Amino acid sequence: MEKGSHQVLNKNYGHLISFGFVEGEPFFCIGPHCKYHIGRYFLCLFSFFLVTSLLFLLVVCPAVSSGNTQLGAMIFGFLLINYLLAAVINPGVETRKEPLGNGEGEGSENFCSECEVYREEKTEHCDDCGVCIQGYDHHCPWTSKCIGKGNICFFYNFLIGILISFIFCTGTLAMFGQVHRG
């Protein structure tokens, strides 16, 4: 290969756009945004959360109390940050080019012939991302890529954030209604 050292910095895996390499492994991986329509789900849902939470914080919360606005900002911030991290952090792209050391070589079920890497248990190939993912959980259209070992904690935090936001909004709207009636 004659492409020089800068190619390492821009190396992509499968359909993922990878950057920010740490010890040869990508730190950030963005799902197939530009190539497939699936990437737009993230941008649409993220914008939706951002706009609705800002409207809520600027219009509804101040009518209830300033403490309510601060609590809302923390909850929505938690939701948005974890959603963003789940969408940009490397989900666990398998890059191992050597056998695992248990005597199994190319052709065994631990070898992925599509990305030519050796897989450990719980590593699975994703056709949408075009790579093998360590600790594969599922391919998530809402983050536009796989949920695996690297980003599953942010994904769970995001789900918890949705639940807490829902409870917070319901409670705040109930108080908002009382303020306006009283």
Separation of alpha carbons 123 and 94, rounded Å: 8
Please select the residue that binds Zn ion; options are 86, 87, 115, 147, rule is CB under 5 A. 115
Residue pair 165/75 in contact (Cβ under 8 Å)? The answer is: yes
Which residue bears the tokens 């020089």?
4
Q: Does 129 bind Zn ion (CB under 5 A)?
A: yes
Separation of alpha carbons 18 and 9, rounded Å: 9
- The two three-digit tokens of residue 169, written as one number: 């909004």
Nearest approach, Cβ of residue 115 and Zn ion (Å):
4
Q: Does 128 bind Zn ion (CB under 5 A)?
A: yes
Please select the residue that binds Zn ion; options are 88, 89, 132, 169, rule is CB under 5 A. 132
Query: Which residue, 73, 55, 121, is CA-closest to 94?
Result: 121
Q: Which listed range, 4-12, 103-111, 125-133, 164-172, lies at the site for Zn ion (CB under 5 A)?
A: 125-133
Q: Does 146 bind Zn ion (CB under 5 A)?
A: yes
Nearest approach, Cβ of residue 145 and Zn ion (Å):
5
Query: Which residue, 155, 178, 181, is CA-closest to 65?
Result: 178
Q: Which listed range, 40-48, 98-106, 133-141, 147-155, lies at the site for Zn ion (CB under 5 A)?
A: 133-141
Nearest approach, Cβ of residue 164 and Zn ion (Å):
27
Separation of alpha carbons 67 and 90, rounded Å: 36
What angle separates helix 66-88 from helix 39-55, to the nearest 10 degrees? 170
- Under rule CB under 5 A, how many of the chain's residues touch Zn ion? 10
Q: Does 93 bind Zn ion (CB under 5 A)?
A: no
Q: Does 125 bind Zn ion (CB under 5 A)?
A: yes
Please give the residue ranges that form the binding site for Zn ion (CB under 5 A): 112, 114-115, 125-126, 128-129, 132, 139, 146
